[in-house]
Amino acid sequence: MRISIFGTGYVGLVTGACLAEVGNHVVCMDIDQDKVDALNRGEIPIFEPGLEGLVQRNHAAGRLQFSSDAVETTRHGEILFIAVGTPSDKDGSADLRAVLSVARTIGRELAESQLVVTKSTVPVGTAVKVRSALAESGTGRFTPRVASNPEFLKEGAAVKDFMAPDRIVIGIDDPKSESQLRHLYAPFNRNREKIFAMDIASAELTKYAANAMLATKISFMNELANIAERVGADIERVRIGIGSDPRIGYHFIYPGVGYGGSCFPKDIRALARTAADHGHQARILQAVETVNQKQKQRLFEKISLHFGNDLAGRTLALWGLAFKPETDDMREAPARVLMEALWEAGARVRAFDPKAMPETRRIYGERDDLALVDDPYEALEGADALVVITEWKAFWSPDFERIKALLSQPVIFDGRNIYDPRDLAEMGFRHEGIGRRASSPDAADQPGNATAAT
């Protein structure tokens, strides 16, 4: 099939490359000519495992092209995907200006046989606005066909998620649109039925509902972790105890320093805003957002308390900057909240991340209180403590003796609970995790105490 995709961001690029991989002829359009030129040279603007090779292979085979020509891109596709950004507006709602601008552009050249699909994460009712924009710019020549096809891609596993999806949601209101989308997704639907066809409004809400549920689990576990610290419980033991219940499960119940990225924060706000626009106060969603914002400050509170609320002149080593492993995405990353608080308190940061340091430089530029280094152990040189904030696999089994030798104090703030507190106490470290009592060498020999209190 001939596919056109408007937007070469995270969703558009992954969608285009994966659809080309199964034999479709895909054109991805972007208004940024420099970005288009780079993509045509095989240069990928984001880090996503497997994406670079996929793009380069399909571009070389002629199945994947990049263009800044909206007219030709519109004329090319049997199915046209809108995959542009929908950032949070000032009131928390999704900013649909880019989506509707693309719709108006498409509408001027759209043929009656073409299907326009919203791939961007958009609130309920967006398809109605898109259809209206298409019709108005097309001077009402015909009633455009519109569908919704929300994405469910995890950053760090997006290519795998697209090629082997657990579900494919399509929102349609006519048989022809459903037939076209079923045909397009047939290569990804071979082992079992994964396509869930529904009305457009339900499809639009499904995306938000999924992210809201996952974000709620994260904030709920972080709330439990904060309770655990105060009552002397170990949240890791609690997690195992509740996760063994199949009604709860182990997914997304790991306490930490809050969620970030491009999806959860803005989607929670947008869904709450949609509810408010329809006269409903979504109290759980508001609480999820509040807990998450507070949780992002938790590590700074622990660090500040440990150093007597005087961080001026201190140096902290940070392992991890991206909001999660296997991505370079720094959008709403907990590391940003921590670094900015440390700088405000007069501290310096030495940081390492396997992929996100170029993005960190782009955001913050050159600063006297920020050193981005090429090796995790280099970050420790002269630092007063180590802070683990992103759970990259490279950080899971480090050389602890080397860490102790490089730090001015043997202190680790473990924002992802990847280390065992008792093991670290036996090696002479003070360990502070999330929802676990702080452990230190003088408490390491307490019998049965995996999280010895100081």
So which residues are the catalytic ones? 263
Give Cα 224 to chain centroid, integer Å: 23
Is residue 394 within 8 A of residue 355, CB to CB? The reply is no
Question: Which of 78, 91, 89, 90 is CA-nearest to residue 117?
Answer: 78
- In whole angstroms, give the CA distance from residue 96 to residue 85: 8
- In whole angstroms, give the CA distance from residue 225 to residue 435: 4
CA distances from 174 to 130, 177, 253 (A): 16, 6, 40
- In whole angstroms, give the CA distance from residue 181 to residue 168: 10
Is residue 82 within 8 A of residue 6, CB to CB? The reply is yes
Is residue 389 within 8 A of residue 408, CB to CB? The reply is no
- Residue 388 CB-half CA count within 13 A: 25
Is 171 in a helix, a strand, or coil? strand
- Which position has the token pair 């709403």? 332
Q: What is the CB neighbour count within 10 angstroms for residue 34?
A: 10
- In whole angstroms, give the CA distance from residue 111 to residue 78: 9
Where helices occur in 244-377 by DSSP H, the ranges are 264-277, 283-295, 298-306, 334-344, 357-364
Work out the angle at residue 372's Cα, subtended by the Cα atoms of residues 371 and 376, and round it to the nearest 5 degrees.
115
Retrieve residue 6's tokens: 């408007």
Residue by residue, DSSP assigns 199-262 as: -HHHHHHHHHHHHHHHHHHHHHHHHHHHHHHHHT--HHHHHHHHHTSTTT-STT----S---SS
